[in-house]
Every structure is written in structure tokens, then in C-alpha cells.
Chains A and B, each alone.
Chain A
Amino acid sequence: AQRVTQPEKLLSVFKGAPVELKCNYSYSGSPELFWYVQYSRQRLQLLLRHISRESIKGFTADLNKGETSFHLKKPFAQEEDSAMYYCALLGTGANSKLTFGKGITLSVRP
């Protein structure tokens, strides 16, 4: 079975503060991990995926297979980062579904 855990529901920080959104997963194979973001009144959109190893809008995430984690980080939060963030896992082989965590609300205060 595949499972994604986002242990916190809300993270509130001041502008300029560092951000770390936690994500842990459970999967027996080698998963592909994603972060999706949903801004207010907008659709769910892909933020980044671990195989790309990119930095998008200043966010990075490193897959740690030993700790089965894929935490999302940004060194200096901006007000426009306020949104709902979901971690998701894609299984390998014939299993094409995304399994999402419950999401975390990031609130960046001025």
C-alpha cells in the first residue's frame, strides 16, 4: 500500500522566514514524489517533482529514501507563497494513481 503523511495542517511564518513543509511516504518500490500547490480560488498545479531536481519559485525538495521523506523547503518565504500544499506519490509499474497527503496550509504574514 502507498501512503503519504503530511503531519502538520498549518504553518504560519513571517515574510522572509525559512519554510519547511514536511512529507513522509510509505511505498515498497521506488516512487516518484511531487509537490502540488493550490492558491486561493485556483486549480491544483504542479510545483515540482523529485526527478527534475529543479528549484521552482525558490522552493526545493530532496527525496531522502533512508528517511522516506520529501520535505519542501524555501529559505525566504514571500506573501505570495501563501497557499495549500500537497505532497503526492506516484507508484511505479502499472499503478498510475497519485496518492496525496492531506495537505498543509502555508500562511506567510507581512
Chain B
Amino acid sequence: DTGVSQDPRHKITKRGQNVTFRCDPISEHNRLYWYRQTLGQGPEFLTYFQNEAQLEKSRLLSDRFSAERPKGSFSTLEIQRTEQGDSAMYLCASSLALAGAQFFGPGTRLTVL
């Protein structure tokens, strides 16, 4: 296991299109998190899962965003009807429950034209 992986690493899309990103966490980690990072800012929390249950969602997560973790392993983040303001780096992280430290993937950079 080489750590958290994300796919794709880069995505360019046109405004109005739908995009989906995938995250594979460290195998024994039961918590999975999504963050978004824009230029000059630290990562901002979007949502997290414990196993397959989505336990918290940020107000940043509009109804165009949906995340799933169907079998408690990998997760997908879908953005529908993308807008230019969605352009950002989308980061995934995983951790063991109650362990605190989160380990990050390389991110997916989304550019909406």
C-alpha cells in the first residue's frame, strides 16, 4: 500500500459538464475525507465518511456535489453542472477512527473553462 491515491490527477472540463473523482484510501483506514483547496488557501473540509456512512457535510458542499463510499473502501466525488468557481484542487485523506492524523492523497486538480 503506497498511501492514498486519487484519480484522475488533472481534469479539464467545460462549464455545465459533470465530473467524477475517485479516491482510494489507505486500506485499513475506516475514515475518508474530502477537502477542497484554492490558490492561497489551506484545504477546506467538504465531507467525511466512516466506513460507508457519510457523517458530516460542510455548507461548502452545494447540492451539485455528491459523495459516496458504497462499500466502505474507495469513494467518489461527483460535481454536476460544473461552474468556473469549482476550479480547485480536490484532496482526499484517510485515517483510522480516533487516531486523529489524516493522510492525504496527491489531489485532483479541476479546471472548469
Contacts and interface: CB of A to CB of B under 8 A. Distances in A.
Interface of A: 4, 32, 34, 36, 43-46, 49, 51, 86, 88, 90, 94-103
Interface residues of B, number: 24
Nearest to B41: A102
B33 interface: yes
Interface of B: 3, 31, 33, 35, 40-45, 48, 55-56, 58, 91, 93, 100-107
12 contacts: A34-B100, A43-B3, A43-B105, A43-B106, A45-B104, A46-B103, A51-B100, A95-B56, A98-B33, A100-B43, A102-B41, A103-B41
Contacts of A51: 100
Contacts of B107: 43
A61 to B, nearest CB: 14
Contacts of A90: 100
A4 B56 CA distance: 20
B56 A102 contact: no
B45 A98 contact: yes
Nearest to A52: B101
A108 B42 CA distance: 21
Contacts of A97: 33, 45, 48, 56, 58
Nearest to A51: B100
B104 A44 contact: yes
